[in-house]
Amino acid sequence: MVKFRLRTPREHATHLRTRAKTDPREVEGYLDSHLAEWTALAEADPADAADILEELGEDAASDLLLELTSQGAAEVLDELRSDLAVDLVERFSPEASARILAALTPMEAADIIGHLGAEHRDAVLEIMADDMSNTVESLLQYPPDSAGGLMTTKVAALPVTITAGQAIEAVRKMHEVLEDLSYVYIVDDEQRLLGVLSFRDLVFNPPEVGLEGVMVAHPVTVTPFTDREEVAELTTRYNLFGLPVVETNGRLLGMVTTEAVIDAVQQEASEDFATAMGAGKSETPYSSISQSVRNRIPWLAVNLVLALGTLEAISRQSGVIANLPVLAALMPLVATLGGNAGAQSLAVTIRALATDDVPRSEIPGILGRQLAIGALSGLAIGTLAFAVSLTRADVSVAAVVGLASFTNLVIATSAGSGIPLLLRSLGLDPALASNIFVTLITDLTGFGGFLAMASVLLF
């Protein structure tokens, strides 16, 4: 048995995590026999404890979580990757699940409860205290990628009728139950949002001043069904630390915090990348085999159908290959260069679209720049392709390879930007398997175009 004891809790946790990567059963046995150390480690740093659990089997991880207090288990659970957190909660009894989830914020609890099986979810909500259960259920009615799915209902909301001094005293009391006090929202008797005041401005105003006189009226708001992309865009545009969520009648429901916005942007970017490659939005390396297969097969089938066009283009030029077999060896070189160039352009465009950083007025300029980039890159790489081809063929064949490479890079770079922009203009998701269509174009020009050029210039 390896000796785990080190001088500091952080070193201890790091060593356990490293050891768990190579021998998780040994670490499981060690923690089972040193529960006091495990409890102390989890209390000291829930994130480190979560990292260790992610390396262990789910049975061991769930048992170790249940050894902690409700608050301690909740803090570790919140640090776990989302799919594992759901799997572990599914293993708990409904009573244990309700006890631990109740120690989370309603937003955090809803993120997990929303992914539980229907029977387990209903049992947990039934056991939870009414106020927590009602809040979680209200959050579950909103899509997870909407402002309602991202918001916290615990906000600093004060009546417009009080003074700044009274507001400071009220906020001081709220500090014990609220995590985010960046903004104080000002509401009327019916909880309709009237204005907002930063905590800093509240402190520096004279105590006797009424809130109505110092608040910023008509703040930027979103509804609970506003898409997370728009939430992120508004937060960035106005440099906000939080965004209030209101009903259509103006009643304040909650706020989307900066942390939630950052998480949403990261999630959106990862989903866009997966979608662009033809995988499912929600697919992860830990998704079930059946789910992953269902997500991928439709786009692979589309890819197969589209590839028939490339097959036909090559078949029509089979005589060219028969007369000059070296062309068969050089074809993949041209197609590969175009594929990589298209993927580069696609990645840049998808990233910009994910942050809503492409106004329609800028599209002609963007396409023009990508065309120029493709031409300059094609000139350089086409020259290199010509030089490389000279080691396998004569000057005339090498010249065709260089010219075809130049042409393919220009087309591929333009397609990498043009396809997602075209999809957006049609009202479709710009990331909708864009890579598959870019690959089709680069293959057609890389294989079919190369052979057609060879047949014209060499025969």
Question: For residues 226 and 215, is the Cβ–Cβ distance under 8 A?
Answer: no
pLDDT on residue 439: 85
pLDDT of residue 121: 93
Looking at residue 6, its pLDDT comes to 46
Helices (H), 67-127: 70-79, 82-91, 94-101, 106-113, 118-127
The pLDDT value recorded for residue 283 is: 61
Q: Quick one: 255 exposed, middle or buried, by C-beta within 10 A (0-12, 13-18, 19+)?
A: buried
How far is C-alpha 99 from the chain's CA centre? 29
Q: Residue 175 half-sphere exposure, CB side, CA atoms within 13 Å? A: 8
- In this predicted structure, what is the pLDDT of residue 1? 45
Q: How many helices (H) and strands (E) does the chain have?
A: 24, 6
How many C-beta neighbours within 10 Å does residue 234 have? 19
**Domains in the chain, CATH or no CATH each:** 9-146 (1.25.60.10), 157-262 (3.10.580.10), 289-458 (1.10.357.20)
Residue 195 pairs in a beta bridge with 186, 217
Torsion 245-142-128-79 (CA) sign:
negative
What is the reported pLDDT for 274? 62
Record the pTM.
0.61
Q: What pLDDT sits at residue 285? A: 63
Q: Which of 290, 295, 299 is nearest to 280 (CA)?
A: 295
Nearest to 181 by CA among 228, 136, 242: 242
Which mean pLDDT values do the consecutive 10-residue runs of the chain (459 residues) have? 54 83 88 90 90 90 94 93 90 94 90 91 92 90 89 90 90 75 90 90 87 91 91 87 92 89 71 60 65 76 80 83 88 90 87 72 88 94 94 92 95 92 81 78 89 87
Nearest to residue 442, comparing CAs of 374, 380, 389?
374
User: Are 441 and 374 in contact, with CB atoms under 8 Å apart?
Assistant: no
Question: What integer pLDDT is reported at residue 2 of this predicted model?
Answer: 46
With tokens 């992953």, the residue in question is 292
DSSP 3-state of 185: strand
Distance set, CA 41 to CA 64, 92, 108 (Å): 12, 22, 22
Alpha-carbon torsion angle 416, 419, 423, 424, nearest 10: 50
In sequence order, what are the residues at sequence separation of 6 or more whose Cβ sits closer than 8 angstroms to the Cβ of residue 85? 77, 78, 112
pLDDT at residue 230, as a whole number: 87
